[in-house]
Amino acid sequence: MAKLTPEMKETFSRNKLFPVATASKKGVPNVAPIAFVIMVDEETLWLADNFMHKTLANVKENPQAAIYVYDSELKKCFQIKGAIELKTAGPDFEKMRKMVLDKKPGLPAKSLLVMKITEVFDCNPGPHAGKKVL
């Protein structure tokens, strides 16, 4: 497991929409903008499934994802990679569902994707672009 640094957590918290990348078992990529991405702790992210189709299908076949985090004011960006566990019941699912419905009543909150962070890569331009930082 990799733990986000305080600087990464600050950059993450400033984002409202996250490009989330997945791939099918055959390697067909998909990127979708997801608003409900919650940092549970420095090792765990929750992604709420409201309208996922290809993303959900990909995660069922290949439980891996990458999230791009960028802040134009801070001029900071990084990529988070991790393993996904899909939940459709239980305390974590119910907690996520309540969070989603409290913020936007009427959304379906169909499932919870729990991402355990495994790696983080630098995305800033320059000599360290693409280098693993965690």
Q: Tell me the residue length of the chain.
A: 134
Tens digits of per-residue pLDDT, 43-98?
Answer: 999 999 999 999 999 999 999 999 999 998 988 999 999 999 999 999 999 999 99
Over residues 90-114, mean pLDDT: 97
Over residues 108-126, mean pLDDT: 96
Q: Which residues contact 104 (CB under 8 A, 6 or more apart)?
A: none
Domains and CATH numbers, the chain: 6-122 (2.30.110.10)
Q: Which alpha helices (DSSP H) does the chain contain, by range?
A: 6-13, 54-61, 91-103
Over residues 24-51, mean pLDDT: 97
SS3 content of the chain, % helix, strand, coil (to 5): 20, 40, 35
Give me the percent of the chain exceeding a pLDDT of 70.
100
